[in-house]
């Protein structure tokens, strides 16, 4: 893998990607920032995808939507293979591009207020349900087109030894759920090599939300 991209509005989004360096020393992380109103600006996400591909990205995450999937599918069909992870959409739009997803089932999120309206129990001051209520698989975890390629892949980990890729994913999901795994655990250094999170220290959401620095192995690019 040449590079992994994460388009995000906050620097903290890039922090867990430090694991990439441990998994593949040749990999690099390229980060591009999207404008705050990117959902309402036509072409903003496509421009980000094109910029990242021009930088050498062969796996894109953090940006989504039909326009991006169609762009990456066209790029792949044109001879330059690019994969992506989709958190919301299935594989039908870009069957040759989307490796995994979705992890959110938006029908669960939308059903809460809609059912309340139907039953007449929705109140004006009621809060919209949190995004966390939509988490949970909304379909097949892996694109069936790629499953045969990864079913028998094995990876070496420092804590679990050599383990099958699919088994590792299930194990990590369980560890995240029961709190035995926290990707935001030190030691973590910034791009200048300064130790920012000491060894063994687990940071909380408030820390991540206010991060104003980047971890090592991150390259920032300007969207063109």
Does 162 have pLDDT greater than 90?
A: yes
Q: For residues 183 and 190, which has the higher predicted lDDT (pLDDT)? A: 190
DSSP SS3 for 127 = coil
178 is a domain residue: yes
Instruction: Tell me how far apart the alpha carbons of residues 170 and 131 are, in angstroms, rounded to a whole number.
Output: 22
Instruction: Tell me how far apart the alpha carbons of residues 51 and 57 are, in angstroms, rounded to a whole number.
Output: 9
Does 132 have pLDDT greater than 60?
A: no
What number is the average pLDDT over the span 128-135? 55
161 is a domain residue: yes
- 14-63 confidence digits (pLDDT tens): 444 556 666 666 777 888 887 777 777 888 888 888 998 888 888 888 77
Q: For residues 98 and 65, which has the higher predicted lDDT (pLDDT)? A: 98
215 is a domain residue: no
> Which pLDDT score is estimated for 15?
43
What number is the average pLDDT over the span 116-134? 69
Does 201 have pLDDT greater than 80?
A: yes
DSSP SS3 for 28 = strand
32 is a domain residue: no
> Which pLDDT score is estimated for 45?
85
Cα dihedral across residues 87, 143, 93, 19: positive or negative: positive
Domain span at residue 171? 152-183
111 is a domain residue: yes
DSSP secondary structure letter of residue 190: B
Does 207 have pLDDT greater than 90?
A: no
173 is a domain residue: yes
Listed ranges 38-47, 195-204, 205-214; the one with the highest mean pLDDT: 195-204
**Prior bond of 167 cis (ω within 30°):** no
Q: For residues 40 and 150, which has the higher predicted lDDT (pLDDT)? A: 150
Q: For residues 89 and 186, which has the higher predicted lDDT (pLDDT)? A: 186
> Which pLDDT score is estimated for 213?
84
What number is the average pLDDT over the span 127-133? 57
Does 152 have pLDDT greater than 80?
A: yes
43 is a domain residue: no
Q: How many domains does the chain have?
A: 2
> Which pLDDT score is estimated for 146?
87
Q: For residues 32 and 74, which has the higher predicted lDDT (pLDDT)? A: 74
Q: For residues 42 and 4, which has the higher predicted lDDT (pLDDT)? A: 42
> Which pLDDT score is estimated for 206?
82
Hey, which bits of 92-145 come out as E strands? 98-100
- Among 132-136, 155-159, 170-174, where is mean pLDDT lowest? 132-136
> Which pLDDT score is estimated for 135?
54
28 is a domain residue: no
């Amino acid at each position: 893998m040449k590079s992994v991209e994460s388009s995000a509005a906050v620097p903290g989004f890039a922090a867990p990607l430090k694991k990439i360096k441990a998994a593949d020393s040749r990999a690099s992380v390229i980060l591009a920032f999207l404008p705050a109103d990117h959902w309402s600006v036509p072409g903003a996400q496509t421009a980000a995808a094109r910029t990242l591909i021009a930088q050498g990205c062969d796996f894109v995450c953090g940006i989504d939507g039909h326009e991006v999937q169609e762009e990456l599918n066209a790029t792949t069909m044109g001879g330059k293979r690019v994969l992506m992870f989709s958190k919301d959409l299935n594989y039908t739009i870009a069957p040759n591009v989307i490796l995994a997803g979705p992890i959110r089932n938006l029908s669960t999120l939308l059903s809460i207020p809609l059912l309340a309206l139907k039953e007449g129990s929705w109140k004006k001051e009621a809060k919209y349900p949190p995004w966390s209520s939509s988490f949970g698989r909304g379909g097949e975890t892996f694109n069936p087109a790629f499953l045969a390629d990864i079913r028998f892949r094995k990876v070496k980990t420092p804590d679990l030894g050599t383990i099958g890729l699919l088994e590792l994913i299930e194990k990590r999901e369980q560890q995240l759920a029961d709190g035995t795994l926290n990707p935001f655990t030190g030691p973590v250094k910034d791009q200048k090599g300064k130790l920012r999170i000491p060894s063994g220290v687990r940071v909380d959401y408030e820390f991540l939300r206010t991060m104003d620095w980047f971890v090592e192995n991150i390259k920032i690019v300007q969207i063109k």
